[in-house]
Structure 1
Amino acid sequence: MHPLLSLSVFWLLPLALMLEEDSPLGCDPRKSVPYHRDNAHLFQEEGVFNYSTMLLREDLNVLVLGAREALYALDLNDISKKLASVKWEVTEQQKAECKNKGKDPETECKNYIRILHKMEDNRMYVCGTNAFDPECNYMSYADGKLTLESKGEDGKGKCPFDPFQRYASIMVDNNLYSATSMNFLGSEPILMRSSPVSIRTEFKSSWLNEPSFVSMAQMPEGDKSEEGDDDKVYLFFSETAVECDCYNKLVVSRVARVCKGDLGGQRTLQKKWTSFLKARLDCPVLESQLPYIIQDTYRLCDPQQHWKTCLFYAVFTPQSDTSDLSAVCVYQVSDISRVFAEGKYKTPVPVETSFVKWVMYSGDVPVPRPGACINNEAREAGITQTLDLPDRTLQFIKDRPLMDQAIQPVGEKPVLVRRGATFTRIIVNQVQAADGEKYNVMFIGTEEGSMLKAVNYDGEMFIIEEIQLFQPPEPIKILKFSNVTDQLYAGSENGAAQIPLASCARSLSCMDCVLARDPYCGWDKVVGKCIALSNSQRELIQSVKEGDASLCPDAEHVKPTNQSIWPGGNLKLSCPSPSNLAKTSWERDNRPLTPSARLQPLQDGLLILNASDSDGGRYRCVSVERSKTAEYATTVADYQVRIAGSGRGGQILFPQPRTGGPSVAGLQAVVGLLVVSLLVLLAWNFYKGHLPLPWSCGKKSEQSQESHEEGGVHSSVPSQEPPKPAQVEDKPLMSGRDNGSSNNHSRGEAAFSAAGGENDAPELNLTSLQYIDDESEI
């Protein structure tokens, strides 16, 4: 067996029994909400991309949004309203230098805003990639304007060079903690605190080995600590496992932590972290043979509880293309802290095959404990800061920053596993439902631009809805939410979106509202609507754990809709399913409908093909949805279908013509208009002489005879008196056969005149028989 595969299977065998019948695999959202502009407030500006950095300034009622070469101040209640903006573009010289280093001038050689934090003086600290030359600055918002100060600072170690490289940062007590790359090539990853004393990690693979940084969070572990402990800063990332005894690279998920008061060592680890420790994070998914990779985390703390009860929600995706599952695992801070404070270390051991093997360290551990913060026990020993730590402790942590024990999630299994939707970001909001309990609602962004809203009810994962935020679909790069506005904000490559945490109006009936099991929403019997709990002082109907729709009052009966169809015609009866968890069925005349070639049930309705007189009747669409308590049926649609033209006794009644009404009057008006147009056309032709006037036919004949007597053989020449209108061309009717050439025309006229003279027949005026060969003359 391949060494990599054998190691993966060895890690996952103990987890197989944990994920049998109670696995949340394949959990579908109850409702799928397609994209619509009314779903959310949207913001985007033409020519600007990568809306991936956000800072909530609830004190200013502003959302500060960082994009490529631009920063915006948006109305926190409606981000489609831009309050202010400022450009931060690279110069042509910077772009040229970036291009000379082999980077794309149109994509990489731009300034991508990556760091955006609030300072204690209400200013904002902002950093950008700046054409692969990171730079930081200070920004303020006042009098409706965003202003960038001209105090550019070196951003190396604070902001990534590469705009497409993962990074993490956090501002703690005006000190910036950042995890990124220190150099242009991205080959020197570091975790650094910029001030007051610059502290960073060692450039050793045992510390950081090709990492991909995810997020950072602060934990107030020094608050009211009996041990006199220090606050911690946690870093979540993934990296190539140094402890893996295999030929191929194996990527694993990690959590690391440092102490806020760390100042580095005196001789060993000068200006380096003396408290850097890391451990593996497990999120076991049964189908996977390789560890899942962490993509994002969110720290959730109840302000009324101790910090040890805080939770880290994390989303994971597979590291191979053989699986299309994504997962959410939850970790307790107390479990993570215990591994670092009490767990065993891993140590490197050289072996004969000339590579290093990592095994559990079983020797003596120095005192003070390597990687520990300065606490009361250390202070009693005369060690008041990390500069006082002995070299033995510092050398130990320099060589062995990795813990042996992996950190398992709560319940030792994911709280959510979903197939098909690749998770990218997560945030969690705690809300109190009508039953008085608090529930953690997860909002999960995906690669497809949709957002899942899900809750875990006593081990049962329930996805309330999936909303499509962006069209065309594009990955959600950042998620934030505000407790002040109860709004959620998402950023993507081409824009930002804002939606409410509660979307109760999508439920139109009490049963639909209760079966949604949304802790934000309940049914108000007084107004007859599904509304947010925070907007009502009355008691609302809600059952989030059970989905007990029997609490609802009796619903009003659906009135039948009349539908007509001609014999032999087709008709579709619409019946949209109220939820993805419901099953619809059809009844005909209060009996279950039997599908046939002419009656075909569809996913969203019923199709009647080649209708006959026997297909008339009452058709009812019934939806059945099961919750934890029972199955609940409701009528979605009701139709009374009549075969048009069918009367009593089976006689066919043919349609009768209408003799009155707007259609008859309109027809009369059209006929009148055609008559008037014809009269005008005739008058115009009489005026042009194209048609002879009835009363002048006899006069023209007499004038022709007189002209013939005077003109002899030239009788074909038209008389000059009385004058007639100008003509395009005169042609005899017979000229149509020989194409009317001028020579044939003359010979024909002469011959005709001579013949007339010999037979003494009455002369014929050819001009009165003009040939009209051009439609434009009509």
Structure 2
Amino acid sequence: MMGLLYICLGLAAGFLPAFGVKDTPTLGSKNTPRFLSKEILRAGLRYEVNQIHSVFSYHEDSDELFVGGTDFVLKLDVNDCRIIEKYYLNTTGRQQCPEGLCENVITVIETFQDSLFVCGTNGNKPQCWKLFPSVKNQSHEIVESYEGTGISPFVYTQNSLSLTVDGDLYAAAPLNFDGSSLQFRRKAGGRTNCWMYDNWVLEPTFISASWVKRKDDPENEKIYLFFWEKNSDHSPEADPWISRVARICKVDEGGSKRFFQNMWTSFLKARLVCGFPEESLYFNRLQDIYVMHAEDWHDTRVYALFTSSWNSTAVCIYSIEMIEQIFENSTFRGYKEEIPIPRPGTCVKNSRSLPPSTISVVKDHPEMTDWVHSLHYTAPFYISGNNYTKIAVDQVQAADQQTYNVLLLATDSGKIHKVLEAGSQPFIISETQLSNNSTVQAMKLDSKKKKLIVGFSEKISTVDLQRCEEYNSSCADCVLARDPYCAWTASGCTPTTRGGIQNIVDGGISVCNEAVNEQMPLKRYKREEISARHLRLVHSIPGGLPFYMSCPIDSYHAVYTWEHEGHSSPCLQMLSNCLHFIPSMEKQNYGNYICISREKNYTKVVKEYQLMEQVIPVENENRKTVDPSFSQNKASGLVPKMMWITLQFAIVLGSLSVRIII
């Protein structure tokens, strides 16, 4: 019966929900997205065969997106995801590889030495290839291949990462088939190959590596490495895993032939803290990193996504300047003697000339005593019950010429959340559903084009970050969105232009023209104004029968009520609609009903019903049948009595206050 009820209500109300019942945000909560996109976006490319793994390579100054899948690399036009070329990289020696593990899953795509450098698992025998432009510069051709161990993992599920810096290739991938001997190395390029000392990390999982440029001081440029590792402290109260940030000097060539040859001489690491230090409660496992580079390296920010053992995720924000202060000023954990000169970890022109006393501290005591805390220190910037897996951060210039940061967070259920960073409190602007079938495999931001490119197992989707038409109902709706990408102009809610109307800081609608009707309090609405601006549904309903009304939810931060003859009733939320049920139509139930939305100081009428009594002909009274033409509107809310009894029972159990469960 509940299944039949759901179908009946859904069809009658015109529901086309794109969101699962369990994922529907709760009304009035600031911890949920304010706005849900009305439909699943379908722009992009759908794979012929679902991919178990994918990797992207993309630079904003190019219109070409390279996508690595299983046995192939695609070159796409980033504007429309149209395939320009497809390159097949099939596994060599398939007859020798274990059954079921013969695929060549592409794990690395980097621009390296004026070519596209691609590596894959190659049937458990990692291999790399260089794709060079052809003579006519219209396609690529493979002319060289290399042994790929230490660059690509043996199996795509093994941990790995890659980075190119000034013509050098850095990578982290296991040296052994069982996933062991995993460390960060410089593998190719103009500088000496270098690697880590085995005792520096314990069962690491590398998340990201980033080169931070210093235009005025290139010899002091560092590569920052973000990872988590097993805690060497096995006491019961100790955290089992610890998140880290490490750094290496770009000019590091390793030690002398007698001591630490081909080993990093500048490697230092520190604990990366995200949580509540005063309560000693931390999010311990680093999930993803996005580095927002700045002209002045001091202002470069690191946005880190963490997970916890209590099924929550958090975002903490750090500055490179704060990280450098720890590396430059902290003592070395476990080292009690006088710190040698040059200080361990210092970038020098010739690392082979460093004295053994300096290198010995790096060798035996690379960890900083002090921890790296976030900018907000006492708590994460953002905490959520959503299981976020990827993060990107865009910088947007608003109509007031101020810049605001917008976090783009991917959930494990195929959604993208836009979260505004304006002050110390996050504001969840919107949620966009991209896939109902899989989690995000790869994600790239194009800040210049204001697009987000997202890869799933079944497809690649492009998200237009300037979907301002979604807030186009009025100036107030546009301003309340607090979306830096959008501003109210004479053309409606449009991509931000100078002089447009916005209030990013708090969403106050006083910036809108006072003549806009939606700004007036409810008591100032005149009946004729409401009727002219909002659709009034007129229904003729026989007495004694149940009836329901619905109005759409435009903002999940608003409070919705039903007003009738001076009385107010809360809405019953069902997916993206607010419902009001009348179990049995009596004299006092007839009249006008208005669905009201209230958010901040903004009140608007969303929908209006006028219910009139209809007398059932005598010959139909015993059977309680109703002429199908009794309603003046096709969206009739008549509900059979048996369904209403079942519905009432569900309400008593409390299951319908937020959702209906079939």
Go from structure 1 to structure 2 and tell me whether the alpha carbon gap of 1:398 and 1:530 turns closer, same or farther (over 3 Å shift). same
1:67-114 deviation per Cα after TM superposition (whole angstroms, max 9, x unaligned): 1222111121111x22221121214x33x4331xxxxx43x4321211
Go from structure 1 to structure 2 and tell me whether the alpha carbon gap of 1:288 and 1:469 turns closer, same or farther (over 3 Å shift). farther
Go from structure 1 to structure 2 and tell me whether the alpha carbon gap of 1:633 and 1:478 turns closer, same or farther (over 3 Å shift). same
1:585 matches 2:587: no
Following superposition, the deviation at residue 258 of structure 1 comes to 0.7
Asked whether the 8 Å contact 1:600–1:608 carries over to 2, the reply is no
1:449 matches 2:414: yes
Go from structure 1 to structure 2 and tell me whether the alpha carbon gap of 1:532 and 1:74 turns closer, same or farther (over 3 Å shift). same
Go from structure 1 to structure 2 and tell me whether the alpha carbon gap of 1:570 and 1:600 turns closer, same or farther (over 3 Å shift). farther
User: What CA distance in whole angstroms lies between the structure 2 residues aligned with 1:229 and 1:338?
Assistant: 18
1:514 matches 2:489: no
Asked whether the 8 Å contact 1:50–1:495 carries over to 2, the reply is no
Asked whether the 8 Å contact 1:426–1:443 carries over to 2, the reply is yes
Bigger proportion of residues as helix:
1
Which position in structure 2 is the counterpart of 1:164?
157
Letter in 1 for 2:272: L
User: What CA distance in whole angstroms lies between the structure 2 residues aligned with 1:657 and 1:256?
Assistant: 72
The alignment's TM-score, normalised by the length of structure 2, stands at 0.81
Asked whether the 8 Å contact 1:622–1:633 carries over to 2, the reply is yes
1:674-733 deviation per Cα after TM superposition (whole angstroms, max 9, x unaligned): xxxxxxxxxxxxxxxxxxxxxxxxxxxxxxxxxxxxxxxxxxxxxxxxxxxxxxxxxxxx
Asked whether the 8 Å contact 1:415–1:461 carries over to 2, the reply is no
- More displaced stretch, 599-608 vs 61-70: 599-608
1:546 matches 2:506: yes
Go from structure 1 to structure 2 and tell me whether the alpha carbon gap of 1:343 and 1:585 turns closer, same or farther (over 3 Å shift). same
1:48-75 deviation per Cα after TM superposition (whole angstroms, max 9, x unaligned): 4045311125554221111122211112
1:272 matches 2:263: yes
1:130 matches 2:122: yes
Unaligned runs of 5+ in 1: 1-24, 100-104, 348-360, 375-383, 648-653, 659-778
Letter in 2 for 1:345: F
Letter in 2 for 1:98: C
Which position in structure 1 is the counterpart of 2:213?
220
Letter in 2 for 1:502: Q
Go from structure 1 to structure 2 and tell me whether the alpha carbon gap of 1:289 and 1:486 turns closer, same or farther (over 3 Å shift). closer
Following superposition, the deviation at residue 30 of structure 1 comes to 0.9
1:253-300 deviation per Cα after TM superposition (whole angstroms, max 9, x unaligned): 001111111111112111111111111100014888554211111111
Go from structure 1 to structure 2 and tell me whether the alpha carbon gap of 1:97 and 1:229 turns closer, same or farther (over 3 Å shift). same
Following superposition, the deviation at residue 140 of structure 1 comes to 4.1
Which position in structure 2 is the counterpart of 1:85?
86
Bigger proportion of residues as strand:
2
Which position in structure 2 is the counterpart of 1:317?
307
Go from structure 1 to structure 2 and tell me whether the alpha carbon gap of 1:615 and 1:82 turns closer, same or farther (over 3 Å shift). same
Asked whether the 8 Å contact 2:572–2:580 carries over to 1, the reply is yes
Go from structure 1 to structure 2 and tell me whether the alpha carbon gap of 1:550 and 1:269 turns closer, same or farther (over 3 Å shift). same
Asked whether the 8 Å contact 2:53–2:105 carries over to 1, the reply is no
Which position in structure 1 is the counterpart of 2:442?
478
Which position in structure 2 is the counterpart of 1:637?
607
Go from structure 1 to structure 2 and tell me whether the alpha carbon gap of 1:430 and 1:578 turns closer, same or farther (over 3 Å shift). same
Following superposition, the deviation at residue 641 of structure 1 comes to 1.7
Following TM superposition, the consecutive aligned residue runs of length 4 or more in structure 1 with deviations greater than 6 angstroms are 599-602, 654-658
User: What CA distance in whole angstroms lies between the structure 1 residues aligned with 2:213 and 2:259?
Assistant: 28
1:394 matches 2:370: no
Which position in structure 2 is the counterpart of 1:746?
none
Aligned Cα RMSD in Å?
2.8
Go from structure 1 to structure 2 and tell me whether the alpha carbon gap of 1:510 and 1:136 turns closer, same or farther (over 3 Å shift). same
Which position in structure 1 is the counterpart of 2:322?
335
- More displaced stretch, 452-461 vs 474-483: 474-483
The alignment's TM-score, normalised by the length of structure 1, stands at 0.69
Taking only the aligned residue pairs, the percentage that are identical comes to 30
Following superposition, the deviation at residue 594 of structure 1 comes to 5.5
Go from structure 1 to structure 2 and tell me whether the alpha carbon gap of 1:50 and 1:41 turns closer, same or farther (over 3 Å shift). farther
Go from structure 1 to structure 2 and tell me whether the alpha carbon gap of 1:364 and 1:156 turns closer, same or farther (over 3 Å shift). same
Go from structure 1 to structure 2 and tell me whether the alpha carbon gap of 1:236 and 1:624 turns closer, same or farther (over 3 Å shift). same
Which position in structure 2 is the counterpart of 1:67?
69
Which position in structure 2 is the counterpart of 1:4?
none
Following superposition, the deviation at residue 601 of structure 1 comes to 8.4
Asked whether the 8 Å contact 2:153–2:160 carries over to 1, the reply is yes
Go from structure 1 to structure 2 and tell me whether the alpha carbon gap of 1:621 and 1:646 turns closer, same or farther (over 3 Å shift). farther
Which position in structure 2 is the counterpart of 1:98?
97
Go from structure 1 to structure 2 and tell me whether the alpha carbon gap of 1:315 and 1:346 turns closer, same or farther (over 3 Å shift). same
Unaligned runs of 5+ in 2: 1-28, 519-528, 618-624, 630-662
Higher relative contact order (CA 8 A, sep 6+): 2
Asked whether the 8 Å contact 1:274–1:397 carries over to 2, the reply is yes
Following superposition, the deviation at residue 464 of structure 1 comes to 0.3
Asked whether the 8 Å contact 2:268–2:368 carries over to 1, the reply is yes
1:259 matches 2:259: no
Letter in 2 for 1:190: Q
Go from structure 1 to structure 2 and tell me whether the alpha carbon gap of 1:461 and 1:57 turns closer, same or farther (over 3 Å shift). closer
